[in-house]
A and B are shown apart, each in its own frame.
Chain A
Amino acid sequence: MEIKKFVKDFENALDNVESGSFTPETPLNTIKQLDSLGVLSVIAMMHKQYNTKIKGSGIKNAQTIFDLFNLIQK
């Protein structure tokens, strides 16, 4: 599975994010679009596109987009 595609899907899941805004290393706490609805949008994206159910705490504990990607791999 490709991290590049995941970052793109992550960007698409959030409102008002231009393509290429983030890298795998982008810290999640710097992403202002990741508010309560943003978190739900990311959970929904991971469920639909990757058939993965991520607990809210899984997202809260993740530091970067790459950490989220690793949750899918598990």
Chain B
Amino acid sequence: MACKITKIEYYLPSMILDNTQLEKEFSEWNAAKIEEKIGIRNRHLAAECETALDMAFTAGEKLLQGMDKQSIGFLILCTQSPDYFLPTTACILQDKLGLSRTCGAFDFNLGCSGFVYGLAVAKGLIYANITDKVLLITSETYSKFIHSLDKSNRSIFGDGAAAILIEKSEMDGIKEFTLGTDGSGYDKLIVKTGGMRFPNKENLTELFDDEGYFHSPDHLFMDGSEIFNFTIDVVPELVENTLNQNRMTKDEVDYFIFHQANKFILEHLRDYLSIPIEKFYLNLLETGNTVSATIPIALAECLQNCTLKKGDKVMLVGFGVGLSWGGCIIEI
């Protein structure tokens, strides 16, 4: 029994927020410095009426073009910006995409670690003989959670969706995983109100704390230094454990694709882990941090521009909101 990724497509909304616009809105911000520090020039934003479901549908349609839709046995959607509290967005997506009524479907709520978790679940479904073909879609519209005055998060996050087909195969294309969680850091990256714990919006007018950091319970809040600390605490060990789990050395990995959080974090991790620059993906210039879509978008690009070739062993590493993390090795 084995499985592999057989196809990837992605979708980015047409509206673009560029650094020049950010500089116009925030006089203390400098377009060139944003690009230099976080490695982002443009981010795509979902239109007001465009949801994660719509983006997931577009990515899914691209992937399913020319395929027998009825052959998809399971649909998994990773999103933290669902259309409704209920039903699960994946059910609506099953119908919109024209998938079979015998197709299982559910959402799961994870952010930047979501793609790696989705692969793990897809592998489990195939190995348990529940299906031969899983359609995994990651789709996120964080821009809808971000306050217009929050220059940091507006600079970092972009919206996007990716669709990935995982199929039963002869070749073992999805190898061993290392997953982890630390819920004690749940409030370091959070949209606090709107769920059942705090159903009412607080509508605060004071949106900045004593040190000038943006802080609103009704919008996306990220404690940048704590998230950075979490990353440098967890990722080096995650890389080591994923290598051990796969009985591999770092040199045996042909390429590393980490969640594209921002250039600053990625360069620090690459440097700290002594990963050669030519074996390390870093490109979020035109997309920004698209949360659970960054890794599949990176994979799609690397396959398209032939950075990756058949037989390459690639380490995928996701980390973020939860706090949650996961690593695995795939073979192209």
Contacts and interface: CB of A to CB of B under 8 A. Distances in A.
Contacts of B224: 36, 39-40, 56
B268 A44 contact: yes
Interface stretch (A4-12, A46-54, A62-70): A46-54
B228 A40 contact: yes
Interface string A6-25: 00000000000000000000
B202 interface: no
Interface of A: 36-37, 39-41, 43-44, 47-48, 53-57, 59-60
Given A37-B264, A40-B225, A40-B228, 16 more contacts: A36-B225, A37-B37, A39-B224, A40-B264, A43-B225, A44-B228, A47-B272, A48-B268, A53-B229, A54-B229, A55-B225, A55-B226, A56-B223, A56-B224, A56-B229, A57-B226
Contacts of B213: 36
B2 interface: no
Contacts of B271: 48
Interface in B253-310: 264, 268, 271-272
B92 interface: no
A60 B213 CA distance: 12
Nearest to B210: A60
Contacts of A36: 152, 213, 224-225
Contacts of B32: none
B15 interface: no
17 contacts: A36-B224, A36-B225, A40-B228, A43-B225, A44-B228, A44-B232, A44-B268, A47-B232, A47-B272, A55-B225, A55-B226, A56-B223, A56-B225, A56-B229, A57-B226, A59-B225, A60-B211
Contacts of B152: 36
A55 to B, nearest CB: 6
Given A40-B264, A48-B268, A48-B272, A53 B233 contact: yes
Contacts of B264: 37, 40-41, 44
- Binding site of A, secondary structure by majority: helix, strand, loop or mixed? helix
A12 B241 CA distance: 33
A39 B152 CA distance: 14
A37 B263 CA distance: 12
A22 to B, nearest CB: 20
Interface string B140-182: 0000000000001000000000000000000000000000000
Contacts of B268: 44, 47-48
Nearest to B267: A44
Contacts of A44: 228, 232, 264, 268
Given A36-B152, A48-B272, A53-B233, A43 B228 contact: yes
Contacts of B229: 43, 53-56
Nearest to B226: A56
Interface centre among B152, B225, B228 (most CB of A within 10 A): B225
Contacts of A48: 268, 271-272
B232 A39 contact: no
